[in-house]
Structure 1
Amino acid sequence: MNQKHQEDLAHIRSMMERSSRFISLSGLSGVFAGLSALIGGMYVYQLFKANGIEYFTDEHILLSGSLVSEVIYTAFVILFFALAFGIFFTIRKSKKYNLPIWTSATKKMLFNLAIPLIAGGIFCLALQYHQAYGLVAPATLIFYGLALINAEKYTFSDVKYLGFCELFLGLISLFLIGYGLLFWIIGFGILHILYGLIMFKKYK
Structure 2
Amino acid sequence: MRESHEHLQTLTEIRSLMERSSKFLSLSGLSGVSAGLVAMAGALAVYMRLRTNWFTVLSYDRQKSYDDATNQTVVEFVVKVALYVLVLALLSGTYFTVRKARRQGLRVWNKSSQRLLWALVVPLATGGVFCLALLYYNLIWLAFPATLIFYGLALLNGSKYTFRDVESLAYCEIGLGLLSICFPGYNLLTWAIGFGVLHIGYGMAMYYKYERNVTHDERPAGSV
TM-score normalised by the shorter chain: which range applies?
Answer: over 0.9
What amino acid maps onto 2:199 in structure 1?
H
Q: How does 1:130-145 map to 2 (within 5 A)?
A: 130-145=137-152
Cα shift at 1:100: 2.1
Q: What is the match of residue 166 of structure 2?
A: 159
| Paired residue secondary structure (1:22) | coil
Cα shift at 1:29: 0.2
Residue identity (%):
48
Q: Where does structure 1 differ by over 3 angstroms across 4 or more consecutive aligned residues?
A: 53-59
1:11 aligns with 2:18: no
Q: What is the match of residue 153 of structure 2?
A: 146
Give the distance between the partners of 1:171 and 1:140, measured in 2 at CA: 11
| Structure 1 unaligned regions, length at least 5 | none
8 Å contact 2:116–2:162 — kept in the other structure? yes
8 Å contact 1:166–1:187 — kept in the other structure? yes
Give the distance between the partners of 2:7 and 2:80, measured in 1 at CA: 56
| Structure 2 unaligned regions, length at least 5 | 212-224
TM-score in terms of structure 2 length = 0.87
Cα shift at 1:70: 1.4
Quickly say closer, same or farther: Cα 1:172–1:5, change in 2 above 3 A.
same
8 Å contact 2:43–2:188 — kept in the other structure? yes
Kindly report the root-mean-square deviation, in angstroms, between the aligned alpha carbons of the 2 structures.
Answer: 1.2
Q: How does 1:14-163 map to 2 (within 5 A)?
A: 14-49=16-51, 53-56=52-55, 59-61=61-63, 62=66, 63-163=70-170
| Paired residue secondary structure (2:182) | coil
TM-score in terms of structure 1 length = 0.95
8 Å contact 1:40–1:78 — kept in the other structure? yes
- 1:75-97 C-alpha deviation (Å, 9 max, x unpaired): 10000110001100011000111
Aligned length: 201
- 1:77-133 C-alpha deviation (Å, 9 max, x unpaired): 000110001100011000111122111111111111111101100100110111111
8 Å contact 2:30–2:204 — kept in the other structure? yes
- 1:41-96 C-alpha deviation (Å, 9 max, x unpaired): 011011111xxx44556551434312311111111000011000110001100011
Q: What is the match of residue 184 of structure 2?
A: 177
